[in-house]
Amino acid sequence: MDIEKVTFSAPGKVILFGEHSVVYGYPAIASAIGLRAKCSINSTSLEKNSISIPNIIPARKFILGNEIPGVLKSLEFIVHHILKKTKNQKKLEMEILSDLPVSAGLGSSAAVSVSVAASLFSILGIEHNLENVNEVAFDAEKIIHGTPSGIDNTISTFGGSIIFEESNIKQIPINLPLSHFIIVNSLVPRNTKDLVYSLRDRYNKDTKKYSQLFEKIGEIVEESQKNLKLGDLERIGDLMNRNHILLDELGVGNKHIKKIVSILNNQKAFGCKLTGAGGGGCVIGLFEDRENINNVIELLHQEGYNAFITDISTQGVRHE
Ligand code: MEV
């Protein structure tokens, strides 16, 4: 029977260790989080494919093939790419809803791309696997971010917690039963592509200095893997702090990140660091006790930031 409607959702992510150096082939550890993007597709009797993204552009439906805003270009690419694989002439009406803040370093664009790709394969009846979803989402990420490592689309597709190195992935166990991660959104939007490109410029001008910093981050990633498995909070926190200092040296901090990090340190976080590309976006902090976390969240809200507890190691793309 022809499917008339499908919905798939896919998670956002936090990079626990190793952002930026991962673009240069070093390992990084990422975890899928509880916030998700959702794509619903109906087949329609209308003559053209359409897409709406009400969280970002309210009350508008865009016809693919007509002039569409830049933020939808990568999704238009996914639609064309997947339609080429089938003779199915169904016309589709797509709606995307997302819990994820955009331009915040939580993998919102990848989660959207993954949910759109999975929904399209499914409604068009095209045989596929998770690798196929991941590949097309990676190509879409390149349209948005230029030269991404591929970690965002990969963790969103497969879920859990992974160590990622040059597109190779391994699921890793994270054993943190009593602890909690919080995400603090500085509410300063930033552009991953610009941050990655400007770091590339600095790297090209002083390759030795930046290679050494990447090397040190790579060592932290390796060390964190065993401590995440052991659930050694003090050690993990210490490694997060060290990773953060190195990210600052790469030049991807900003004054809000600095302020958030100092609040979290004063509030006795085991450790904290920026997550994602930096330059604004989010900081993650590791705490042990939920009551303390609620006070910290309240304090951060008073300072004008958005903070929340997050689950980690959540499920990857799934049918809803
Ligand atoms: C990804 O969320 C953050 C960066 O490492 C870029 C990338 O891996 O593509 C800065």
Mean pLDDT within 19-33: 98
Most ligand 1 atoms within 8 A of CB, residue of 142, 154, 164, 192 to mutate: 192
pLDDT at residue 86 greater than cutoff 90? yes
Distances (CA, A) of 213 to 225, 227, 245, 276: 19, 21, 10, 17
Query: What pLDDT digit, counting tens, does each position of 98-125 carry?
Result: 999 999 999 999 999 999 999 999 999 9
Query: What pLDDT digit, counting tens, does each position of 191-244 carry?
Result: 999 999 999 999 999 999 999 999 999 999 999 999 999 999 999 999 999 999
In this structure, are residues 240 and 287 in contact, taking their beta carbons and an 8 Å threshold?
Answer: no
* Atom 8 of ligand 1, residue of closest alpha carbon: 149
Mean pLDDT within 58-63: 90
Domain 5-173 is of which CATH architecture? 2-Layer Sandwich (3.30)
* Per-residue model confidence (pLDDT) at position 291: 78
Radius of gyration (C-alpha) of the chain in whole angstroms: 20
* Per-residue model confidence (pLDDT) at position 66: 87
Cα 181 to ligand 1 centroid, rounded to whole Å: 20
Q: In the structure, which protein residues have their CB atom closer than 6 angstroms to any atom of ligand 1?
A: 15, 19-20, 22-23, 148-149, 151-152, 192, 196, 276-277
Mean pLDDT within 157-177: 94
Round the average pLDDT of the chain to a whole number and report it: 95
Q: Which two tokens stand for residue 211?
A: 């290679």
* Atom 9 of ligand 1, residue of closest alpha carbon: 148
Atom of ligand 1 at shortest range from CA of 21: 5
Q: Which two tokens stand for residue 250?
A: 């790469």
In this structure, are residues 100 and 111 in contact, taking their beta carbons and an 8 Å threshold?
Answer: yes
Domain ranges of the chain: 5-173, 180-310
Cα 227 to ligand 1 centroid, rounded to whole Å: 23
Mean pLDDT within 160-167: 96
Q: What does the alpha-carbon distance between residue 115 and residue 6 come to, in Å, rounded to a whole number? A: 11
Cα 225 to ligand 1 centroid, rounded to whole Å: 19
pLDDT at residue 158 greater than cutoff 60? yes
Cα dihedral 145→98→112→85 (10° resolution): -150
Sorting pLDDT into bands at 50, 70 and 90, what band is 1? low
Residue-by-residue DSSP string for 267-280: TT-SEEEEESS-SS
Sorting pLDDT into bands at 50, 70 and 90, what band is 54? very high
Q: Which fold has domain 180-310?
A: Alpha-Beta Plaits (3.30.70)
* Atom 2 of ligand 1, residue of closest alpha carbon: 276
What's the predicted TM-score (pTM) here? 0.96
Sorting pLDDT into bands at 50, 70 and 90, what band is 69? confident
Span of 16-20, 174-178, 298-302 with lowest mean pLDDT: 174-178
